Amino acid sequence: MSAVLLEIRDAVITLPRSSGEEDSTPCRALDHVSLVVRQGEHTALLGPNGAGKSTLLRLMRGEAWLDDPGGGRILWHTPHGPEDSPLTGRAMAALVSAAQHENYLRQGWDMSGEDLLLTGLSDTPLIYTMPPAAQRRTVRDMAERLRIPGLLSRPVNTLSQGQLRILLLARALVRRPPLLLLDECVDGLDTPTRRRVLDILREAARDSTLILTTHRADALPPWLQRTVYLRAGRLTAAPATVEAPYRDFRHSTTTTRAVSTTTRAPSPTVPETALPLVEIRNATVYVERAPVLRDITWTIRPGEHWMIRGGNGAGKSTLLRLLAGDEHPAAGGSIVSRLPRHGGEVAELETIRKGVRLVSDLGQALYGYDLSGLELVLSGFDGTIGLYRETTEAQKEEALRRMRRFGMEALAGRSIRRMSTGQLRRLFLARALAGAPDLLLLDEPCSGLDAAARRDYLELLGSLADDGVHLVLVTHYEGDRIPAVNRTAIMENGRLTVTE
C-alpha cells in the first residue's frame, strides 16, 4: 500500500459573517470531513458549486483553518513523520485556483511571465532575491514543455485570462510538489492548450499526487484513480444520477452540451434603413505599445447575437473591452456606437458604459469590495466598483426585480464573499443589466459553473436575447453556444474573420 501523504480527520470550517450582514445563517464550508490521500492516488474531487471543494483544497494547502483544531485535525506526512503545521502544507502542496488567478489580476504587480514562474520555486507571491542561473533554466525548460516561451518576457498585466492561467499552472509544476492541487485549472484555455496541459499533467503525475476539481468532462484525465464527491460541505457517495459532465469521464473526450444547439436562430432580416448598433472601421489597438487588435473592421446589426472564438491571446477580450469603451483605436481607426435605449448615436464614455455592459472574470476579480448582493447589483447603475451614493427607491426595486428573475432575491442581504461561483456569476449578470443596456458582452461567462448552473445561466442569456438585449459571447466551448446566437467570428493574431 502506498504511503500516506495527507490525513484529514473530522474537519469543520465555517465561513465568517461580515459585520452588518443581514443573513445570519452560518455558512459551513466543510462539515465533518475525513479523508486520506496516499502517494500516487490521483483523485477527482467533484461536486456542484458551493459544495466546499475549493475550501477543501485550501485546507490541504495550509491556507484554511479548522474551526476547532481540538475537534478536527489535518496531518501532512513528511519523511520525518506527521506534522500539523500549515507551513508544512505549503511546503508539500502547490495550488492553482481561480482565487489565485484573481489575486494576481487584482494586485497588478509589475512582473514578467518569467518572474511569475520563478516565484513558484520559492513559493512566494513575488521575487525577493536575485534568482540564480540554474533556476532561470528550470523555468525556461518548463515554458518550453508547455510551449509558452514567448510569455516569459511579457508583462503579466498584459496577458489574456488563458495565458495567465497556463502560467500559474507552470508556476505550480516547476517545483514538482508532492501534492499538486488543481481547482478548475484548465478553465479558460483553448482546446489545443487544454490537451497539451493534460499531457503535461500525466508527466507530472510521476512526481506529484494530483487532486483535481472540474465541472468539464474534458478536463478529467482517464488515468485518475479515484473519485471523491462533495456536497454541502460533506463527503458523499457517488450520486444516483451523476451530472452529465461527470458521467463515464474516464472514457469521455468531449464536453457535454449544457443547452441544445440543434436549432439556431435564423440570421435576422434587417431593413436597409436600419443603422448598425456598432461600426468598427480599421481599428488597431495597442496594449503596452504592442498591437493586440489589428485593422479590425466589423459591424453589429440589430437582431444579431455573436459568438467569438479563438485561441488564448488572440485578442478576444481586448475586442470586448474596445466595444465597452475601455480600449480605444489608434489613429486611423474608429468605432461608432448607436444605442437605442440610451439616445441613439453616442460618443460620451459615460453613456457608452451604461449602454454596453461587459461581464468577465477580470471584472469579478477586480471587485474587491465586501458588499451585499443587493449593493453589488445597485453598483451596476453607475458601473462602479463599490457603491458611492444613495440609490433611489426605483433603482432598488429594479435591482430586486432582476435578482428575483435570476432566483437570487434571498441573497440580497448576504455578503458576496460568502457566495458560490454560480451565485456570483448570476449577480454580476444582474449588475450588468441594471439600467437596461443595449449590448451585453460576455467573456467566458460559464467559467467555473457546474452543469446545472451552466444550463440555467445559458437559459437566462437566451431569455435576455428574447427581450431585445444584443449579445456578444466569447467562449472556448461550442457547448456554451445558445440557440439565439446567429453570427460567428474567429479571432486569430488580433484579426477578426466572420465565418457565418
Q: Could you tell me the pLDDT band of residue 70, with boundaries at 50, 70 and 90? A: low
Mean pLDDT of 373-380: 92
pLDDT-derived band of residue 292, with 50, 70 and 90 as boundaries?
Answer: very high
- Name which of 350, 339, 319 is nearest 436 in CA terms: 339
What is the structure's pLDDT at 368?
67
Q: b/e for 103-137, b at 16 or more Cβ within 10 A?
A: ebbeeeeebebbbbbbbbbeeeeebeeebeeebee
In the predicted structure, residue 238 carries a pLDDT above the cut 80: no
Contacts of 5 (CB under 8 A, 6+ apart): 37, 38, 39, 76, 77, 92, 178, 179, 209
User: pLDDT digit string (tens) for 164-192?
Assistant: 989 999 999 999 999 999 998 888 888 88
User: Could you tell me what percentage of the chain is helix, strand and coil, using 3-state DSSP and rounding each to the nearest 5?
Assistant: 35, 25, 40
Nine-digit cell string for 253: 473526450
pLDDT bin (cut points 50, 70, 90) of residue 247 is: very low
Q: How confident is the model at residue 334 (pLDDT cuts 50, 70, 90)?
A: very high
What pTM was estimated for this model as a whole?
A: 0.84
pLDDT at 246: 38
Distances (CA, A) of 267 to 32, 302, 471, 483: 54, 11, 14, 12
Supply the pLDDT for residue 269: 55
Q: Is the pLDDT of residue 343 over 90?
A: no
Q: Give the pLDDT of residue 99.
A: 83
Which residue type occupies 311?
Answer: G
Supply the pLDDT for residue 84: 94
The pLDDT of residue 26 is above 90: no
Task: Inform me whether the pLDDT recorded for 117 exceeds 50.
Answer: yes
| Fold matches, 4-251 and 278-498 | yes
Residue 269, CA distances (Å) to 266, 273, 303, 305 in order: 9, 12, 8, 13
- How far apart are the C-alpha atoms of 481 and 474, rounded to whole Å? 9
* Average pLDDT estimate for 216-227: 87
pLDDT at 273 over 80: no
Confidence band for 244, pLDDT divided at 50, 70 and 90: very low
The mean per-residue pLDDT over the stretch 374-389 comes to 87
Which stretch of 42-46, 66-70, 274-278, 430-434 has the lowest confidence by average pLDDT?
66-70
Average pLDDT score over residue span 401-405: 89
Inform me whether the pLDDT recorded for 252 exceeds 60.
no
More confident residue, 349 or 276: 276
The architecture in CATH of the region 278-498 reads 3-Layer(aba) Sandwich (3.40)
Amino acid sitting at position 189? L
What pLDDT is stored for residue 496 in this prediction? Answer: 95
Task: Give the pLDDT mean for 89-113.
Answer: 89
- Exposure string for 143-175, b = 16+ CB within 10 A, e = fewer: bebbebeebbebebebbbbbbbbbbbbbbbbbb
Torsion sign across C-alpha atoms 435, 459, 337, 288: positive
- pLDDT band (50, 70, 90) for residue 346: confident
At 243, is the pLDDT very low, low, confident or very high (cuts 50, 70, 90)? very low
Confidence category of residue 154, pLDDT binned at 50, 70, 90: very high
Q: Spell out the alpha helix ranges (H) of 149-221.
A: 161-173, 191-204
The structural architecture, per CATH, of the domain 4-251 is: 3-Layer(aba) Sandwich (3.40)
Give the range among 47-56, 254-263, 443-452 with minimum mean pLDDT.
254-263
Q: What is the dihedral of CA 364, 370, 372, 378, to 10 degrees?
A: -60
**What pLDDT does residue 421 have?**
74
Tell me phi and psi for residue 402, to 5 degrees: -70, -40
User: Are the beta carbons of 440 and 357 closer than 8 angstroms?
Assistant: yes
Look at residue 304 and tell me whether its pLDDT is greater than 80.
yes
pLDDT at 204: 92
Render 42-76 in DSSP notation, one character per residue.
-EEEE--TTSSHHHHHHHHHT-S--S-TTTSEEEE
Report how far residue 204's alpha carbon sits from residue 202's, in angstroms, rounded to the nearest whole number.
5
pLDDT of residue 260: 40
Q: Where are the domains of the chain?
A: 4-251, 278-498
| pLDDT (tens digit per residue) in 456-484 | 889 989 999 999 999 999 999 888 999 99
User: 448 or 335: which carries more pLDDT confidence?
Assistant: 335
Q: Are 214 and 45 in contact (CB under 8 A)?
A: no
pLDDT, greater one: 288 or 444: 444
Q: Mean pLDDT across the chain, nearest whole number? A: 86
Of the two residues 452 and 439, the one the predictor is more confident about is 439
Q: Within its chain, how far is the Cα of 247 from the centroid?
A: 23
pLDDT band for 447, please (50, 70, 90 cuts). confident
| Class of residue 413 by CB neighbours under 10 A (exposed 0-12, middle 13-18, buried 19+) | middle
Question: What is residue 24's predicted lDDT score, i.e. its pLDDT?
Answer: 57
Q: CA torsion sign, 421 to 422 to 427 to 430?
A: positive
Q: What gap in Å lies between CA 371 and CA 387, rounded to an integer? A: 8
- Which has the closest alpha carbon to 164: 172, 154, 156? 156
Confidence of residue 294 (pLDDT cuts 50, 70, 90): very high
